Amino acid sequence: MLDINGWEFIVLLVAALLVIGPERMPEYAAKLARMVKQVRGLADAAKVQLREQMGSDFDDVDWKQYDPRQYDPRRIVREAAQDDAQEGSRWLEIQVDPTSYAPFVGGITPALEIVLDEARSASKDIGIGVAVVVAANRIRHPLDARTLARLAARYAGDGVGQVVGFGLSNDERRGVTAEFAHAFDIARRAGLACVPHGGELLGAAAVSETLAALAPDRLGHGIRCVEDPRVLDDVVRRGLTLEVCPGSNVALGVYSTARDVPLRQLVEAGANIALGADDPLLFGSRLNAQYETARTVHGLSDVELAELARASARGSRAPEPALKQILADIEAWLIS
């Protein structure tokens, strides 16, 4: 075998993908998937080795720019739709940062148009409604967020293949939340749902700051609002939907085990909860697994699980006909 270590192998793999080019990526997708499984162990070891060598500089590198998935946004949208449909989902709001794809397709506008086109196509072919949330990145300048908000506003709508929301993602410990307020004002004026992330890596104070600065309609995570009864009461009073993702909470070390995730506490407080899997490609668990955790670990009954599903539907931007059908399907499941 070639005399290279794990990290050198990963570098060579990324280099090969760059040589192949985005236009030829689809034909290599199946081979790549098999290869990724085989080298995952090497990648983990290489990551540890590289972190030891780079020290604190490791965390300053934007590793997403080396992610080969960025070359084929159509594949990402379609496979997300297929996976969710197989698990019984009826409506998907996929979060996308067009900046990640822009260098490979000629800019953020064509990047978003490709995603929206595939969302329409996947909706038609697979039978699940797919809409898009444009997300800004906390580690970039707030002016970049304003640019993305204006782009999202241009394509705003309330159906499949349209932009229905505007978000803010990545490490919430980076950037100043209030500095992104103007971008959310732009999105709100366009009728978009405001759906930033917050309250996972940071505590209840971060949730409170996000509520005050960005006035979200839905909050990615927000799980740690339970650490301050006043913040939890504010979340409930506002009728805010929390996108709770137990799998990622444990994977990121926010809680040691699934049992430690305060899902039951949120339910009993009357919070609107939309269970989610966050990023299945990163964390290795999907939506159904979150519901199974809610049942087996937190002891939620079928009635309570149905209410979680209803809250997820009501907290979405699904069009009224789709929302009525989703709610009817939930009732049918409950009485079956």
Q: 254: burial class by Cβ within 10 Å (0-12, 13-18, 19+)? A: buried
pLDDT at 8 over 50: no
Contacts 24+ apart (CB under 8 A), 248-252: 248/200, 248/277, 248/278, 248/279, 248/282, 248/283, 249/200, 249/221, 249/223, 251/282, 251/283, 251/284, 252/200, 252/201
pLDDT at 42 over 80: no
Known catalytic residues? 200
Angle at 313 between CA 270 and CA 146, to 5 degrees: 95
Predicted local confidence at residue 242, as pLDDT = 95
C-alpha to C-alpha distance for 81 and 95, rounded to whole angstroms: 12
pLDDT at 93 over 90: yes
pLDDT tens-place string over residues 234-279: 999 999 999 998 888 888 889 999 999 999 999 999 999 998 877 7
- Token output for 99: 């900046």
Question: At 283, is the pLDDT very low, low, confident or very high (cuts 50, 70, 90)?
Answer: low
C-alpha to C-alpha distance for 98 and 137, rounded to whole angstroms: 10
What are the structural domains, with CATH classification, of the chain? 6-60 (no CATH), 72-335 (3.20.20.140)
In the beta sheet, which residues pair with residue 167? Answer: 135, 195
Q: What are phi and psi of 9, to 5 degrees?
A: -65, -45
Predicted local confidence at residue 67, as pLDDT = 58
Cβ(240)–Cβ(272) under 8 Å? Answer: yes
Question: At 61, is the pLDDT very low, low, confident or very high (cuts 50, 70, 90)?
Answer: low
pLDDT at 68 over 60: no
C-alpha to C-alpha distance for 309 and 306, rounded to whole angstroms: 5
pLDDT at 285 over 90: no
Question: At 32, is the pLDDT very low, low, confident or very high (cuts 50, 70, 90)?
Answer: very low
Predicted local confidence at residue 17, as pLDDT = 45
pLDDT at 39 over 60: no
Angle at 78 between CA 278 and CA 24, to 5 degrees: 115
pLDDT > 70: percent of the chain: 78
Predicted local confidence at residue 18, as pLDDT = 43
pLDDT tens-place string over residues 118-154: 999 999 999 999 999 999 999 999 999 999 999 999 9
Predicted local confidence at residue 252, as pLDDT = 86
Mean pLDDT score across all residues of the chain? 84
Cβ(159)–Cβ(109) under 8 Å? Answer: no
Q: Where are the alpha helices (DSSP H) in the chain?
A: 6-20, 25-54, 73-86, 102-105, 108-126, 142-154, 181-189, 204-214, 229-238, 246-251, 263-269, 280-283, 287-296, 302-314, 320-335
Predicted local confidence at residue 10, as pLDDT = 40
Kindly give, in sequence order, each residue whose CB lies less than 8 Å from that of residue 177, ignoring residues fewer than 6 positions away: 168, 196, 198, 206, 209, 210, 213, 214
- The separation between CA 5 and the C-alpha centre of its own chain, rounded to angstroms, equals 33
Cβ(98)–Cβ(151) under 8 Å? Answer: yes
pLDDT > 90: percent of the chain: 65
Question: At 196, is the pLDDT very low, low, confident or very high (cuts 50, 70, 90)?
Answer: very high
Predicted local confidence at residue 121, as pLDDT = 97
pLDDT tens-place string over residues 289-313: 889 999 999 999 999 999 999 999 9
Radius of gyration of the chain (CA): 20
320 compared with 72, residue with greater pLDDT: 320
